[in-house]
Amino acid sequence: MTKLYLVRHGETVDNVAQILQGQEPGQLNERGLEQAREVREKMASEQIDVFIASDLKRAIETCRIIAEPHGMAVETTALLRERDWGSFTGKFIPTLKDVEWPDDIETLEQMKSRARNFITYLKVAYPGKTVLAVGHGLINKAIQSVYFHKPMNEIQKMGNAEIRVLML
């Protein structure tokens, strides 16, 4: 069985500004860096075999900070990328409340497909290992939706730098 520590990246400048980052790189703010350091301290004594992050900067940076005491490199994967918000990317979230969604937004089913592929990848590549993976709010929600066989709206939102444990 593969043990997965699923982590959301630390807080970013755009999180605070309520900007829809989507698949933009993102930049951790000072609080986000501190959150990553807090997770590093919590996880320093844990036996972790592999560190994996979304290939977006905010997740890689969070994961590298957490991996420091282990002296291990961070593997990256596009499977852990945040939802592609299409033409909504970069928009101020409160202004999108009653706006019709464009056709270029990644669907929940597409996200759940990536989530299934990520879970399968971990089971095949790292059986019996402990993996710490840093993703994003919605892809992490999709992973848990697939894992628990529940609709995404029944999965509680993860806070920045929050850790959840899944046994795959």
Q: Residues marked as binding for substrate? A: 8-15, 58
CA distance 127 to 29: 35
Q: Of the residues 9, 61, 106, 136, which is catalytic?
A: 9
Q: Of the residues 38, 70, 82, 109, which is catalytic?
A: 82
The question of whether 9 is a catalytic residue gets the answer: yes
CA 160 to chain centroid: 9
- Residues belonging to the binding site are 8-15, 58
Beta-carbon contacts of residue 140 (< 8 Å; ≥ 6 apart): 6, 8, 158, 164
Catalytic site positions? 9, 82
